[in-house]
Amino acid sequence: KAGVTQTPRYLIKTRGQQVTLSCSPISGHRSVSWYQQTPGQGLQFLFEYFSETQRNKGNFPGRFSGRQFSNSRSEMNVSTLELGDSALYLCASSTGLAGVQETQYFGPGTRLLVL
Amino acid sequence: GENVEQHPSTLSVQEGDSAVIKCTYSDSASNYFPWYKQELGKGPQLIIDIRSNVGEKKDQRIAVTLNKTAKHFSLHITETQPEDSAVYFCAASGGNTNAGKSTFGDGTTLTVKP
């Protein structure tokens, strides 16, 4: 069974631009969660989608948004990029509600550099 | 919300020695505690997990223990090998404050010297 895939793997943007990242979960998984990983802040939860609905949201500004499609694929968007948005963005999928005794499987991440 | 503290932040051991990483959590209702290994350039990979109704779980050289009363859990790696070198993360989820998401520790960089 194929793992979680994320595209693109690397991205360079400039301040003020917007970016869209994509995640394809493991086949059959309906929950997709997004995390931001930075050296100083570790892994920070962004949001979780289950059956096309946002079920949980972390403490990030409204510039960070996401959505999930009927095939469980998910996208996250960051508008008006800031230098501090430079990070590794990780997507994780699970069969049901992520975190409720559910194992999450991570993708390789998208490394975003904001100049 | 849930808070997970992980110690130590860095750990260096000789090949063949044991390594222990400890985590504490704040939400007593948390019921699922996975451990992830992250190698350079890759996403975190699950190596072992434990649920709140179990005190200990072992998988070959890796074991995890859970003390619900003290709200802490630990990862034990025996007979370490150079390929065990990576960043290890603990996480807690399923509790009252974090149902539907995982809260991660800050990670431990393990270096195994040949």
- pLDDT at residue B58 above 70? yes
Which residues of B sit within 8 Å Cβ distance of A? 31-32, 34, 36, 41-46, 49, 51, 89, 93-94, 98-107
| A4:B43 CB<8 A | yes
| pLDDT classification of B45: cutoffs 50, 70, 90 | very high
| Number of CB pairs, chain A paired with chain B, less than 8 A apart | 69
Shortest CA gap A96–chain B (Å): 9
User: Per-residue pLDDT tens for A54-80?
Assistant: 988 999 999 999 999 999 999 999 999
Instruction: Tell me which DSSP letter residue B6 carries.
Output: E
Q: For every residue of chain A, which 3-state class applies, written as one string?
A: CCCCEEECCEEEECCCCCEEEEEECCCCCCEEEEEEEECCCEEEEEEEEECCEEEEECCCCCCEEEEECCCCCEEEEECCCCHHHCEEEEEEEECCCCCCCCCCEECCCEEEEEC
Shortest CA gap B81–chain A (Å): 24
The rounded distance, in Å, linking the Cα atoms of B33 and B51 is: 6
The rounded distance, in Å, linking the Cα atoms of B51 and A18 is: 40
Lowest mean pLDDT among A49-58, A62-71, B76-85: A49-58
Hey, is the C-beta of A99 within 8 angstroms of any chain B C-beta? yes
